[in-house]
Structure 1
Amino acid sequence: MRHFRRIVVTLCCLLAVAPVQAQVDSPPLRLSNAGLSVQAVFMERAPVATGIAAHAGWALTPAWDLRVGIRRDAVVQRDIRRAYSSRTEWADQRRFSVTPALGWRPFRPDGPLHQSFRVSVGPTLQVQRGEQVRRLGAIEESMSIDRLTTDAGLRGDNTYLDRSGATPLLLQTDNTNRTNVGVTAELQYGLTYEAVTVEALLTGRRMTGVDGATVGLGGRVSVAL
């Protein structure tokens, strides 16, 4: 009986120490790649925007990795005359977002030159700044600035007046400053030569407080570290 107790105690000690030892011996998670991307971004009620992003990635396994990206999508076009012909021609949208995404590579052949394909998805935190059109139209030339800014029927968060042409134009906007949360998915296909990867990039994003989805199409350059 005494020997049995000793065996049980020894086994318990080994089971308790083994996970700790394995954790100590396991290599730390290291930065494996970093890169930059540029995209044409299609947002709601706005001309085509420009998306610029930077990312850092950590390899979890040969097929799985984790990337954290910081991105800015922006389009600013405040020509009232252009907006008068089409409301979608006026825009002020600036969006900053942070996305940690889990990626999967179904294949990654060896060799100095090979193809690469990656699918990723992750949550997104987005800070949005900008304005959207509330009222746009021609006004009487005799209308004063005081009338435009004090009349309750003409009141808006922001007021723009263009008197450069024969017909004075008035544009009023509402602020779209808010914080949104959502999800971002990406498809990437490219070529890798040694440590450099060049990819075609398709991004889809769905956020709260934003009508529809935001789509981006462009490219990315990454470097293995």
Structure 2
Amino acid sequence: MRHPTTAAILCVLLFALPARAQVDSSPVRLSNAGLSVQAVFMERAPVATGIAGHASWALTQVWELQVGVRRDAVMQRDIRRAYGSRTEWADQRRFSFTPALAWRPFRSDGALHQSFRVSVGPTLQVQRGEQVRRLGAVDRGTSLERLTTDAGLEGDNIYLDRSRTTPLLLLTDNTNRTNVGVTAELRYGLTYEAVTVEALLTGRRVTGVDGVTVGFGGRMSVAL
């Protein structure tokens, strides 16, 4: 009689435990989606514009999994302006994909409530563009052949401005590469019904880019 009793208990447990787990577990669902716009401060470049799309999945009351796709870009190709300062010439385009874990330590009650979020996650970034290698004036007798063959005038790209008395020469190197790193965000916002508007501060550190790329702007999202 002992063995049938043990078998009966095991059968009850096998049927009861999955049912219990099914009742207790809640499926991960898409909770909100939105867009953000930022001013981005890159190294050796003027202020760029950052535009991103975001989606979040609620894991618990305070934890979220979010995914963001972002484009940071700045283009300024005026050789005369660059002659005054190298940071006035830029061509940088960076596309980033970042999955992140977000934590919301508090959310106030009421029809209009405030919240604060912190998120951190790995980033895959595809970078395209150019950076200044050499800048200066050239003699009028300098031929295009010399510009393209002289070892002292090497560069991936050559720009020549003949519009004034002294021709200006700008040589650049391509910055096409794939970078990996980490992105952190701080967000403070107000929510009314399904719409949330947040102030957004972003910091990104990736390989192939000097220092930390910082962005500041706003984000709007809608609860789904």
Q: Quote how far apart the aligned CAs of 1:9 are.
A: 3.2
3-state SS of paired residue (1:107): strand
Cα distance in 2 between the residues matched to 1:166 and 1:19: 86
Alignment of 1:13-32 (within 5 A): 13-18=11-16, 20-22=18-20, 24-25=22-23, 26-32=25-31
Aligned equivalent of 1:9: 7
Q: Quote how far apart the aligned CAs of 1:108 are.
A: 1.1
CA 1:207–1:11: 2 relative to 1, 3 Å: farther
Aligned residues: 223
Aligned equivalent of 1:104: 103
Aligned equivalent of 1:217: 216
Aligned equivalent of 1:71: 70
Structure-1-length-normalised TM-score: 0.94
Moved over 3 A (4+): 6-27
Tell me if 1:51 matches 2:53: no
3-state SS of paired residue (2:187): strand
Aligned equivalent of 1:115: 114
Alignment of 1:21-170 (within 5 A): 21-22=19-20, 24-25=22-23, 26-170=25-169
Cα distance in 1 between the residues matched to 2:160 and 2:9: 82
Tell me if 1:194 matches 2:193: yes
Code of the aligned partner of 2:192:
Y
Sequence identity percentage: 77
Cα distance in 2 between the residues matched to 1:39 and 1:166: 40
3-state SS of paired residue (1:84): helix
Deviations 1:31-77 (A, max 9, x none): 11000000000011111000000001111111111110000000011
CA 1:30–1:154: 2 relative to 1, 3 Å: same
